[in-house]
């Protein structure tokens, strides 16, 4: 699979537990605001030339972004979603497992960044490096605190990637 870095963006954001509202309640007004902001970020990115979106398949922000790409793809079939899995058997239980499977099945492709079938100590690090190396924009939701997102945003900054932080742009009604 060939990925054109100059036309590729990836998602990184807070884990499920770090949001002040539920990402599982799609009727929650805060979830709706976030989803609208994600859609706007994807459409804006598409408008300026980004046609491929990489998703780390993490519970929370990243999988919500993948769902938004798939929704937009129904209207604009010129965008692609690529799942970037840290290992072959990566998944979740329950509702997030269902979402993970649906996104994986609907994606335009997938990359598995570890040769191992299961978790290893550094598998997430290699996944993140792959996304950084193959993208020129990060669409993130970062509050300046959470360590994992902080690390990837700082690495993106060092590498000169365009940073689109939705934490400060979430729509208000």
The predicted model scores a pTM of 0.93
pLDDT per residue, tens digit, the chain (173 aa), is 799 999 999 999 987 777 888 888 888 898 899 999 999 999 999 999 999 999 999 999 999 999 999 999 999 889 999 999 999 999 999 999 999 999 999 999 999 999 999 999 999 999 999 999 999 999 999 887 767 788 999 999 999 999 999 986 554 43
DSSP category for residue 13: E
Burial class (CB in 10 A: 0-12, 13-18, 19+), 14: buried
Give the bridge partners for 138, in sequence order: 10, 163
User: How many other C-beta atoms can be found within 10 angstroms of the C-beta atom of residue 79?
Assistant: 19
What is the side-by-side order of every strand in the sheet holding 52-55? Answer: 109-112, 80-85, 52-55, 8-13, 137-141, 162-165
Radius of gyration from C-alpha coordinates of the chain: 15
DSSP letter (8 states) at residue 60 = B
Round to whole Å and give the CA distance between 140 and 87: 22
**Nearest CA-CA partner of 124 in 7, 12, 16:** 12
């Amino acid at each position: 699979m060939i990925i054109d870095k100059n036309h590729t963006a990836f998602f990184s954001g807070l884990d499920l537990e770090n949001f002040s509202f539920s990402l599982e309640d799609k009727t929650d007004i805060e979830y709706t605001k976030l989803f609208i902001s994600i859609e706007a970020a994807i459409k804006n990115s598409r408008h300026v030339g980004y046609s491929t979106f990489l998703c780390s398949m993490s519970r929370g922000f990243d999988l919500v972004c993948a769902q938004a790409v798939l929704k937009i793809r129904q209207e604009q079939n010129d965008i692609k979603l690529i799942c970037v899995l840290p290992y072959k058997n990566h998944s979740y239980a329950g509702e997030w497992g269902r979402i993970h499977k649906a996104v994986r099945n609907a994606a335009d492709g997938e990359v598995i960044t570890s040769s191992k079938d299961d978790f290893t100590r550094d598998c997430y690090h290699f996944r993140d490096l792959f996304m950084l190396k193959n993208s020129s924009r990060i669409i993130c939701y970062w509050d300046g605190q959470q360590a994992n997102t902080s690390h990837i945003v700082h690495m993106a900054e060092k590498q000169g990637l365009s940073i689109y932080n939705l934490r400060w742009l979430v729509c208000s009604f």
